[in-house]
Chains A and B, each alone.
Chain A
């Protein structure tokens, strides 16, 4: 499996990546996730203004043969979504870290400490798969 895990990002055990900039978090799925899913053909993410709760599902990503839920890495409000990606979700396969899904304004920044570091995520991937 791929071990492309950029050091500047944070991660979840559900294989999302999070770019933290102040109280704004940009969310995508990791290279590990796209590789496990295979050819991604459908993406559904919430509209701007939606409220997310950390750990709850917020959307789905589908490959030809499977449906996978997306889990919110943080609690907060969706302030942007990558609409272009819904029309060409296969871009996630070729560039997982360049294909952001949504941006979230975090409600409580203390929650960011719960996210995994690149090293922790790497260890998680090594041990659980």
Chain B
């Protein structure tokens, strides 16, 4: 077994008494005190996550935006400078290598933030298409730590620590400094609340984390993060997305811009029909969990739960499920098989919880 990687804040987590678990090759805090309290802190006040395990790639040079636009399915070129754009990264056949965020820092400089467990796979894939673009493509994951400060009090908590922080739009990015350290501040996150992701050197981020602790910001672990993202219906790679399905199967058609001149996977995605449909389900009784079978009204297996939990906010069982389109019931009657018993599940159109982001 290979040794687990540690973020620059590992000692801080241990000191706080966090329960540590392996995640994507890293030893990460899953919870500090209580998942419920951590979720509520983010929804009502402010919480902070160490997400330094995530990967940071930089694209620099005159073709930086063009290269990013060619790699991903969403439209990078048309977005204004300073914007953050969520997108799947696809193979030629349209299957999803990863989902990521592209940050247009300034002309000729793009930051791409990718999932921890996919860093090597993504870099290799992206780098293999680099030829012909006039830009430098580097994996700087090892040089960066990353915090996600999330919740309605995030702006007022962060602003005083920085040289300056204008009230930037949701899904945009701003470069400033924290003491002597340059930091990249993005108004993004994975919770549905207002909040920021802060990219900086290991030293800068450790200092900032300690200041957040002094200010009584609630440290939050991966468990709370997973509940928060599922409540607002954000997909997670390895669950709603994987190497075998395309963005349409995962309900991410809105991120595939077939009007773009060219991008990897375009021709496959033009002719591709979704094989699956990703649905949201709510259960009044029972808690759906990953891999539980989903049944129609007649008891036929039509799909599986890809992520499930008890919602802290609604107190109900909530799930994403991948359903085979051909088997999708016209009467919209769904059940989840929990320990060989069928529990009724309501098809839910809107996110389970509405986050407070701008």
B310 adjacent to chain A (CB < 8 Å): yes
A41-B310, A42-B310 as given contacts; A62 in contact with B35, CB under 8 Å = no
A64 CA / B34 CA spacing, docked (Å): 10
A41-B287, A42-B287, A42-B310 as given contacts; A63 in contact with B35, CB under 8 Å = yes
Is the CB–CB distance between B289 and A38 below 8 Å?
Answer: no
B245 adjacent to chain A (CB < 8 Å): no
* Nearest Cβ on chain B to A67's Cβ, whole angstroms: 6
Interface string of A11-46 (1 = CB under 8 A from B): 000000000000000000000000000110110100
Is the CB–CB distance between B312 and A64 below 8 Å?
Answer: yes
Residues in A with CB closer than 8 Å to B223 are 38, 64-65
Is the CB–CB distance between A38 and B287 below 8 Å?
Answer: no
Is the CB–CB distance between B339 and A39 below 8 Å?
Answer: no
Is the CB–CB distance between B310 and A64 below 8 Å?
Answer: yes
A75 CA / B286 CA spacing, docked (Å): 27
Within B4-54, the residues touching A (CB, 8 Å) are 30-31, 34-36
* Nearest Cβ on chain B to A32's Cβ, whole angstroms: 14
B309 adjacent to chain A (CB < 8 Å): yes
Within A56-114, the residues touching B (CB, 8 Å) are 60, 62-65, 67
Interface string of B325-358 (1 = CB under 8 A from A): 0000000000000010000000000000000000
Interface size of B by Cβ–Cβ distance < 8 Å? 15
Say whether chain A's binding surface is mostly helix, strand, loop, or mixed: strand
Interface string of B285-315 (1 = CB under 8 A from A): 0110100000000000000000001101000
A39 CA / B34 CA spacing, docked (Å): 7
Residues in A with CB closer than 8 Å to B30 are 65
Is the CB–CB distance between A64 and B227 below 8 Å?
Answer: yes
Is the CB–CB distance between A38 and B226 below 8 Å?
Answer: no
* Nearest Cβ on chain B to A96's Cβ, whole angstroms: 15
A67 CA / B309 CA spacing, docked (Å): 10
Residues in B with CB closer than 8 Å to A65 are 30, 35, 223, 226-227, 309
Q: Which of A42, A44, A60, A64 contacts B35 (CB 8 A)?
A: A64
* Nearest Cβ on chain B to A31's Cβ, whole angstroms: 15
A38-B34, A38-B35 as given contacts; A64 in contact with B309, CB under 8 Å = yes
Is the CB–CB distance between A38 and B31 below 8 Å?
Answer: yes
Q: Which of B34, B310, B312 contacts A62 (CB 8 A)?
A: B310
* Nearest Cβ on chain A to B144's Cβ, whole angstroms: 28
A64 CA / B310 CA spacing, docked (Å): 5
CB-nearest residue of chain B to A57: B339
Residues in B with CB closer than 8 Å to A39 are 34-36
CB-nearest residue of chain B to A64: B35
Is the CB–CB distance between B310 and A67 below 8 Å?
Answer: no
* Nearest Cβ on chain A to B309's Cβ, whole angstroms: 6
* Nearest Cβ on chain B to A50's Cβ, whole angstroms: 15
Residues in B with CB closer than 8 Å to A60 are 339
* Nearest Cβ on chain A to B291's Cβ, whole angstroms: 11
A103 CA / B287 CA spacing, docked (Å): 25
Is the CB–CB distance between A64 and B289 below 8 Å?
Answer: no
* Nearest Cβ on chain B to A71's Cβ, whole angstroms: 15
CB-nearest residue of chain B to A63: B35
Greatest chain A CB density within 10 A among B30, B223, B226 is at B223
Residues in A with CB closer than 8 Å to B227 are 64-65
Within B214-259, the residues touching A (CB, 8 Å) are 223, 226-227
Within B132-181, the residues touching A (CB, 8 Å) are none
Q: List 29 contacting pairs A-B, 8 Å CB cutoff, sorted by A.
A: A38-B31, A38-B34, A38-B35, A39-B34, A39-B35, A39-B36, A41-B287, A41-B310, A42-B286, A42-B287, A42-B310, A44-B339, A60-B339, A62-B287, A62-B310, A63-B35, A64-B36, A64-B227, A64-B309, A64-B310, A64-B312, A65-B30, A65-B35, A65-B223, A65-B226, A65-B227, A65-B309, A67-B287, A67-B289
Can you name 10 extra interface pairs (CB under 8 A) apart from A42-B287, A65-B227? A38-B31, A38-B34, A38-B35, A39-B34, A39-B36, A41-B287, A41-B310, A62-B310, A64-B312, A65-B30
Which 8 residue pairs of A and B lie closest in terms of their CB atoms, listed nearest first? Answer: A39-B36, A41-B310, A64-B35, A65-B223, A64-B310, A42-B287, A62-B287, A39-B34
